[in-house]
Amino acid sequence: MARPSLADSTSRRFLAAAAMRYYVPSGPLRKLASGKVLLKLLGSVMHILRASMRLPVMLLTSGIASLAYVEYKLSQMRAPEWVTGSLEKMRGWMEGIRDSEWLRSTSSNTQDDETDDEHDRAIDMARGSSGGWGSGMGPADGGIGSDPQAGGSGGIPPPKGDYYTSPDPGSLDDDYAEPQKPAPTTNSARRDGGTDENALMELTKKLLEIQTILKTVSDEDSGGKSSSGSLKLPSIVVIGSQSSGKSSVLEAIVGQEFLPKGTNMVTRRPIELTLINTPDAAEEYGEFPQLGLDRIRDFSRIQRTLYDLNMSVPETECVSDKPIELRIYSPHVPDLRLVDLPGYIQVVNRKQPPVLKQKIRDLCETYLKQPNIILAVCAADVDLANSEALKASRRNDPLGMRTIGVITKVDTTEPDAAVHMLTQNDYPLHLGYIGVVCKPVQEKAGITSHAVMLSEAQYFNKHPGFQQPGVQIGVGTLRRKLVRVLEESMRQNLSTLVDAVRSELEETRYQIKVQYNDERVSPESYMAESLDVLKQKFKAFQQQFGKPQLRAEVQRWLESQVMNVCAELYWSDPAVQDLSNHVTRSRAAGWWADISTKVGQTATAAASVITELLAANTAKEQKGPRLSKQSDTSKDANGRGRAKNGADANEWSENDDVYWGHQLDRASALLTKSGVGRWTTQMVVDLLMDNVVSMVDAEPFVHHADTRTAVLNFSHAILRNKYHSTVDQVENTIKPFKYEVEIEPHEWSKARKRSAALIDNEIRLCRQALQKVRLSTPKKQLQQAVQFVKGAEKRGLDPLSVQAEIARRNAEQATSSQPEASDAASANSDSHDIAGNNVEDLGYSQYSPRLLRQAQQVLMVQDRLSILHMRRKALASSACASPDNKRFCPETFLDVVAEKLAYNAVLFINYELLQDFFFQFPRELDSNLYYGKTLQQTRDFASQNPHIGQQLKLIERRQRLELVMTRLNELVRQQAAVEQHGRKRSHWSTTASPSYSNPFPGL
């Protein structure tokens, strides 16, 4: 049980005495009810009453937690904004009641007595009252500042030297080392001073953490200018001329050598140095957040990294405003934030730009503005009137309210001159000047003795002038001064920072509500939704592209191959006209045979009547017909050789059947033995890849080039793994059709309709081509060019070749030198005759090559149209109604073959390739693009979409500002509690127990 304080014990005795005197009637009862018993009784009653006040606090806390949980669940279900806003207002109202002054004071009084001693012990430990290093020992105890020559050897030495240790809460005085032993302090004194100092140090540490968060909040996050320029906390800006000792001062504060050194200008970029005290850790390390370098324990490596980063600025610029961020964690450093800037220069060398001096000044001016603290470093061997650091501080801080002067190299001047420089008022600064010696001092103890190395403490203790009141010396004093000034500045700017963060948070929330309607999105949800969109598109394609659709695509491709084969073997053959005429004439011959049979029967009946009338001229009439018959027989003997001139020139023969049968076999072989398995499989692969490309080229993957490439790569890999096996299976399946094709009548009938439709489509395409040429060229010019090309072809000439030859000869004549008369005559004679024709008479120069090509195209398309019309009539004839006449109808036969090839090819393409691709694609999508992704990869993916990236930046900005606001509110409450605690302590100290002894002197 903790011992109650004096004031509380006196008040309890007063209550007990009053109760015994006025409420206990008789003396024996007073003796019976002793003071101790009554005191315990009253204490128990008061404790019960006070403990009962905790119940409302507990109920309010439970209600607040319940409301927070309900609000969280409603936010997950995307409840309306007014619901969550109402819950948030109710929760804030309950928090206000719980944190109210009267309820807090009532419920916390029961814990005051128990926590007083614990608070005392915590302050004693913080002030070092338990002994050891940092326990406040003076020089007489062998602590800091003890003179070794005076025999002060007691105490534990500091781990990092005199001025490299972190300041403890009990050593925040300005004096460097007082010779007298400090007076003992009571618990109440420690409680009043040490608590405030500890609170300030804790405030600094938390504000530095907040400043690290605020550093990531920039103006670009909100998409425009905002007030985030006020979201800054004070920093200590170190300025000075080159070689003034800035780097040595910073290294002395840190206790490590880590800054780059060199004869040339090595500090070319601002170094934002954050010192973080880690009392529970034994190691020291640094971090470069911008580079992703963590826990660098070798400070020489930090030095090399800083040198490389500074040297990355070219000599043509010499200075860059892009800062280098460095954090150092150590148990021997205070919580500080410093900025090391390039040193001022007076003269620019020949390798540096002429504007370097002004660039350095402009860069420093940006950091010297409010509310930063200026640490003006001046060397002792330079007159303060010539100090560039003081000039810069005077421009930005005319009254010197936030400037600390540091005089380095104090050992280079006489002690009296150094003391005068530290105490002068010619260049006054509100925070004063501090003299430091950052390197060991070499001095002689006597005239003949050898030189000895003195530390900073030994040097200042050796010269009594530095022990005068008001002289601030030593790196330790500088560290404590920086800590206290930074703490005070941060505390003063706390309310301003809270207002700025609140304003920025409200603006960010408004932008999210206006631009994105408070839509909830995260990198993980966006990636999942994007992949779901792709999966839904792929599923829709899978449902639309089944076996029937696959067969239709293969059939369409094979039908195009059928048209190509017919164009190559039939439509370009001059004899195809005879084939078409024979098929169409055979239909008319059948009709004529029926009519002639009936006429013959009638003629036989009348033959006997007219026989007698013709008997007289029998010999004469028989001679004529016989000769005519012989003439016909001679024509038949010549066969197709006289088919061009005779009446029976188109009469069909067995050679024609053999010829067209051979052509049909060739056409079938071209279709079945041309790699149908390879071509159909490749066609399906191309079709699948085209659909995948169309899916990833749409939203949202149009913004994700790497993801699009990954999808295409694994899709191609899936198809490539199945490609060769599918080709082999299809080729084995269609192998029987390479040798024999059996055709059923119903198959022939369907193929006949399909082939007729294909030829109709070819006719339509030819007409479109003709129409396109006629629209692009004047009609009269085109007709003249067509007639000209026809005439040239009758002469056996190619118009384009002749025109090219004429152009070549004209060019040779133009580029040659002045020819002689004989050469000109010979050239003239040559140009007048090309392939035995008069070029000038033909008029080749009247038509351009483009017009001649169009005329040739018109003639070719017209010839093709005439052939297609004949083939269309042939397919409609009765000769093509039966598969027995397949040699007369190659289009129908090849269509039947194509239909059989498509049916058998699709069977194995569907199972070997298509179904396997449909099965593996979603799984590869998840394994390659979703599972195993880090948080940073997910954020990078979402940021590639400009719309989502901007929204995520605003949401992240809001989250960081909310986090900062929460911590700032907590700090404000803690500060208010500390101030209230201080006022309460001061009140109890003024109204202590002496007044209670007079009314009751006998108690």
Three-state secondary structure string covering 526-579: HHHHHHHHHHHHHHHHHHHCCHHHHHHHHHHHHHHHHHHHHHHHHHCCCCHHHH
Q: Under the phi-then-psi rule, with left for phi > 0, alpha for psi from -120 to 50, and beta for the rest, what region is 78?
A: left
Euclidean distance between CA atoms 474 and 234, whole angstroms: 24
pLDDT at 180: 37
Q: How far is CA 1001 from CA 10, 13, 732, 996, 998, in A?
A: 13, 12, 123, 9, 5
Higher-confidence residue: 193 or 261? 261
Distance of CA 862 to the CA centre of its chain: 59
pLDDT exceeds cutoff 90 at 447 = no
Least confident of 97-106, 116-125, 504-513: 116-125
Residue 430: both structure tokens together:
């509100």
What single-letter DSSP state applies at residue 434?
E
pLDDT at 768: 92
User: Do residues 286 and 327 make contact, with C-beta atoms less than 8 angstroms apart?
Assistant: yes
Residue 613: both structure tokens together:
């009338």
Euclidean distance between CA atoms 951 and 536, whole angstroms: 25
* Cα dihedral 955, 957, 958, 962 sign: positive
Angle, helices 890-909/705-733, rounded to nearest 10 degrees: 120
Distance of CA 106 to the CA centre of its chain: 54
Mean pLDDT in residue range 831-845: 49
pLDDT at 10: 55
- Amino acid residing at 937: Q
**Residue 967: Cβ-neighbour burial (10 angstroms; 0-12, 13-18, 19+):** middle
Residue 601 banded pLDDT, cuts 50, 70, 90 = low
Placement of tokens 């040659």 in the chain: 816
pLDDT at 602: 61
Q: What residues contact residue 193 under an 8 Å CB cut-off, 6+ apart? A: none
Residue 699 banded pLDDT, cuts 50, 70, 90 = confident
Among the ranges 12-26, 46-60, 442-456, 498-512, which has the highest mean pLDDT value? 498-512
**Residue 547: Cβ-neighbour burial (10 angstroms; 0-12, 13-18, 19+):** middle
**Residue 752: Cβ-neighbour burial (10 angstroms; 0-12, 13-18, 19+):** buried
**Residue 163: CA atoms inside 13 Å, Cβ hemisphere, count?**
28
Euclidean distance between CA atoms 923 and 84, whole angstroms: 39
**Residue 448: Cβ-neighbour burial (10 angstroms; 0-12, 13-18, 19+):** exposed
Instruction: Determine the straight-line distance between the first and last CA of the chain, rounded to whole angstroms.
Output: 25
List, as one string, the DSSP characters of 804-848.
HHHHHHHHHHHHS----HHHHHHHHHHHTEETTEEHHHHTGGGS-
- At 240, give phi and psi (nearest 5°): 165, 170
Q: How far is CA 119 from CA 1, 106, 115, 167, 589, in A?
A: 14, 20, 6, 21, 127
Using a pLDDT cut of 70, give the percent of the chain over it: 68
Residue 631: both structure tokens together:
């003439």
pLDDT exceeds cutoff 50 at 269 = yes
pLDDT at 197: 53
Q: How far is CA 955 from CA 79, 726, 958, 959, in A?
A: 18, 51, 5, 6
Euclidean distance between CA atoms 334 and 480, whole angstroms: 9
Placement of tokens 């580029």 in the chain: 815
What b/e string do you get for 695-708 counting C-beta neighbours within 10 Å, with b at 16 or more? Answer: bbeeebbebbeebb
Helices (H), 676-744: 676-696, 705-733
pLDDT at 136: 35
Euclidean distance between CA atoms 550 and 905, whole angstroms: 10
CA proximity to 37, closest of 19, 25, 49, 22: 19
Euclidean distance between CA atoms 454 and 459, whole angstroms: 6
Mean pLDDT of the chain: 75
**Residue 698: CA atoms inside 13 Å, Cβ hemisphere, count?**
11
User: Do residues 880 and 874 make contact, with C-beta atoms less than 8 angstroms apart?
Assistant: yes
pLDDT at 470: 84
The SS3 of residue 339 is strand
pLDDT in tens, 888-938: 888 889 999 989 888 888 888 888 888 899 999 999 999 988 888 888 899
Higher-confidence residue: 689 or 843? 689
The SS3 of residue 610 is helix
pLDDT in tens, 122-171: 434 433 333 333 333 333 333 333 333 333 333 333 333 333 333 333 33
User: Do residues 146 and 114 make contact, with C-beta atoms less than 8 angstroms apart?
Assistant: no
pLDDT at 20: 53
Q: What residues contact residue 474 under an 8 Å CB cut-off, 6+ apart? A: 162, 163, 176, 177, 434, 435, 436, 456, 457, 460
Residue 988 banded pLDDT, cuts 50, 70, 90 = low
- At 574, give phi and psi (nearest 5°): -60, -25
The SS3 of residue 523 is helix
Residue 651 banded pLDDT, cuts 50, 70, 90 = low
* Cα dihedral 730, 735, 736, 740 sign: positive
What single-letter DSSP state applies at residue 167?
P
Euclidean distance between CA atoms 111 and 391, whole angstroms: 55
Count other C-beta atoms under 10 Å from residue 531's C-beta.
19
- Amino acid residing at 224: G
Euclidean distance between CA atoms 368 and 618, whole angstroms: 143
Euclidean distance between CA atoms 524 and 519, whole angstroms: 15
What single-letter DSSP state applies at residue 913?
I
- At 373, give phi and psi (nearest 5°): -95, 135
CA proximity to 243, closest of 414, 438, 456: 438
Q: What residues contact residue 304 under an 8 Å CB cut-off, 6+ apart? A: none
Residue 105 banded pLDDT, cuts 50, 70, 90 = low
Euclidean distance between CA atoms 558 and 573, whole angstroms: 22
User: Do residues 922 and 930 make contact, with C-beta atoms less than 8 angstroms apart?
Assistant: no
Mean pLDDT in residue range 280-298: 89
Among the ranges 127-131, 828-832, 985-989, which has the highest mean pLDDT value? 985-989
Strands 373-379 and 236-240: parallel
Higher-confidence residue: 536 or 124? 536
CA proximity to 286, closest of 274, 273, 275, 295: 295
